[in-house]
Amino acid sequence: MVSTSPLSASIADSRQYLPPANPEGTLSPNQQLLPLTATTTPDDHLSVGGCDVVDLVERFGTPLYILDDHTLRTACRQYRQGFERYYPGEALVIYASKAWNCLAVCAIVTDEGLGIDVVSAGELLTATGAGADCDRIYFHGNNKSFEELTLAVEVGCRVVVDNWLELKTLGELATREGKTVPILLRVTPGIECHTHEYIRTGHLDSKFGFDPDQIESVFEFLASQPQLQCLGVHAHIGSQIFELNPHTDLGAVMAQWVVTAQRYGLTLTELDVGGGLGIRYTEGDDPPSIDTWVKTVCESVIAACAAHDIPLPKLLCEPGRSLIGSACVTAYRVGSQKVIPGLRTYAAIDGGMSDNPRPITYQSVYRALVANRMTAPLAETVTLAGKHCESGDILIKDAALPELKSGDVVTIAGTGAYNYSMASNYNRVPRPAAVLVADGDATLIIRRETVADLLRQDCLPETIRPKAKST
Ligand code: LLP
């Protein structure tokens, strides 16, 4: 696989963010700022999936999530091909749909042969609604409700059990329904990694999963619960990780759990190593390729199984961000500007923290380009502000951009993961539409929300309805 290509230092315009020529088709999507199909049109516009972004926003409005089918499918295939190349046993790539759960995305990853990780009844029903196979759906979460567990048993998906309450509830539910429920156990691996503290989950002080000290009592309990079929163990270290070491270490930790389970008469056949591979949001980000990550995971598990003389398990991983993050851009229109001489220029776009809460939540840094003037020189340092009533609603501080005019189509790269899925209606702003682009065609995959959609959920009891004023 080709490693990261540096952004072109010689081009001082938006074209520097485009992916390099890729005749071999080997670029790893997570190492690119823009979707693999991104290019410029003869009109000097950004094009994604063969569609002119300026045309798209005229047709579908702004803000607009533009999802590139080719980039998403390429990432799916690179994960699958990696396991075919490096793992002699059975493997399954599961899409962590919390990154972006909607019918179209679930349908595409299913079509590419992936399973789906869900964390709520909403995500589960979206996955099944998109045609995902229930025995390839893995239900996660640290506080699944009784209704959610009942639904999981009903549809027959796998449940990744997080804690004692869930384990006991599920045992009772399985007995009541007369079903055998396939489960995995989520265990905190005690592995540190360097990422934002909110998205670190593998260290011991985490709300997720059984503490490793409890694992023997869990296995002992499971030995008496034949209605719970414990297939294996799961661990997730964290998200937006660029290091490979945590996953080198994880295989050894997890293989040890398999050995411990044997002492309780349990044969674990599935190991799920979670997700976490990072993506490139700026030129300073240098994540490993999908291929390298998969190779590391496979080698770690193969070596650990050899060391313990246990058979190779079915190996699962559950990437979210690195599958879909780089496949999407968000297009906005520029509106008002405020120039504070000698201090800063603010340019406001028609979205912000409601469609991309990552900068305000994690101080995430993004790159923007002007989709209607790709070769305009990057002449200004501008702070791209959102439209929300909150000073912190800044999408990019000090972005290098051409001189902006109202109406320009500013496009932010790398918005496929945890943008739509974390979007809100702050300030009663309806959530944007999303289109899927492929081979020059654009298809609506999420309708733009309207204020009427929001008002539909409101109730105004007669008792508090203001009386019409008598004149
Ligand atoms: N598996 C489990 C159990 C997870 O908790 C997660 C992410 C994943 C897989 C997928 O991780 P990924 O491959 O996407 O790194 N909202 C945050 C990210 C939260 C990640 C939550 N768990 C953000 O915007 O950065």
- Dump pLDDT digits (tens) for 346-356: 999 999 999 99
- CA angle 212–218–221, rounded 5-degree value: 165
What is the model's pLDDT at position 4? 47
Distances (CA, A) of 241 to 118, 196, 293: 21, 9, 10
Sequence letter at residue 19? P
Position 195 pLDDT exceeds 80? no
Mean pLDDT, range 452-469, rounded to an integer = 94
Mean pLDDT, range 37-54, rounded to an integer = 98
Q: Band of the pLDDT at 197, cuts 50, 70, 90?
A: low
Measured in Å, residue 206 CA sits from the centre of ligand 1 at: 14
Q: Is the CB of 236 under 6 A from ligand 1?
A: yes
Position 39 pLDDT exceeds 50? yes
Work out the number of other CB atoms within 10 angstroms of the CB of residue 83. 21
What is the model's pLDDT at position 3? 43
Q: Is the CB of 186 under 6 A from ligand 1?
A: no
Mean pLDDT, range 202-217, rounded to an integer = 88
Question: Bridge partners of 346?
Answer: 338, 383
Task: In whole angstroms, give the CA distance from residue 386 to residue 352.
Answer: 4
Q: Band of the pLDDT at 2, cuts 50, 70, 90?
A: very low
What is the model's pLDDT at position 205? 82
Mean pLDDT, range 357-365, rounded to an integer = 98
To the question of whether residue 318 is assigned a binding role by annotation, the answer is yes
Backbone angles phi, psi at 298, to 5 degrees: -65, -45
Q: Band of the pLDDT at 69, cuts 50, 70, 90?
A: very high
Name the token pair of 245.
């070491």
Position 206 pLDDT exceeds 90? no
CB–CB of 415/364 below 8 Å? no
DSSP 351-420: --TTT--HHHHH-----EEETT-TTSB--EEEEEE-SSS-TT-EEEEEEEEPPP-TT-EEEEES-SSSSG
In the set 51, 230, 317, 389, the catalytic residue is 389
pLDDT digits (tens, 9 = 90+) for 264-294: 999 999 999 999 999 999 999 999 999 999 9
Name the token pair of 327.
């496949």
To the question of whether residue 17 is assigned a binding role by annotation, the answer is no
Protein residue whose Cα sits closest to atom 1 of ligand 1 = 274
Percent of the chain with pLDDT over 70: 95
Tell me the domains of the chain and their CATH numbers. Answer: 27-68+327-448 (2.40.37.10), 69-325 (3.20.20.10)
Percent of the chain with pLDDT over 90: 91
Q: Band of the pLDDT at 204, cuts 50, 70, 90?
A: confident
pLDDT digits (tens, 9 = 90+) for 101-133: 999 999 999 999 999 999 999 999 999 999 999
Mean pLDDT, range 153-179, rounded to an integer = 97
Mean pLDDT, range 376-397, rounded to an integer = 97
Q: Is the CB of 99 under 6 A from ligand 1?
A: yes
Q: Band of the pLDDT at 190, cuts 50, 70, 90?
A: confident
What is the model's pLDDT at position 192? 73
Mean pLDDT, range 451-463, rounded to an integer = 97
Mean pLDDT of the chain: 95
Is the link from the previous residue into 35 a cis peptide, with omega within 30 of 0? no
3-state secondary structure of 434: strand
Ligand 1 mutation pick, 293, 321, 324, 364, max ligand atoms within 8 A of CB: 321
Mean pLDDT, range 175-183, rounded to an integer = 97
* Residue indicated by tokens 């533009």: 66
Name the token pair of 215.
């694992």
* Residue indicated by tokens 């290509």: 5
Is 134 annotated as catalytic? Answer: no
DSSP 16-85: GGSPPP-TT----GGG-SS-TT-EE-TTS-EEETTEEHHHHHHHH-SSEEEEEHHHHHHHHHHHHHHHHH
Ligand 1 mutation pick, 30, 97, 98, max ligand atoms within 8 A of CB: 98
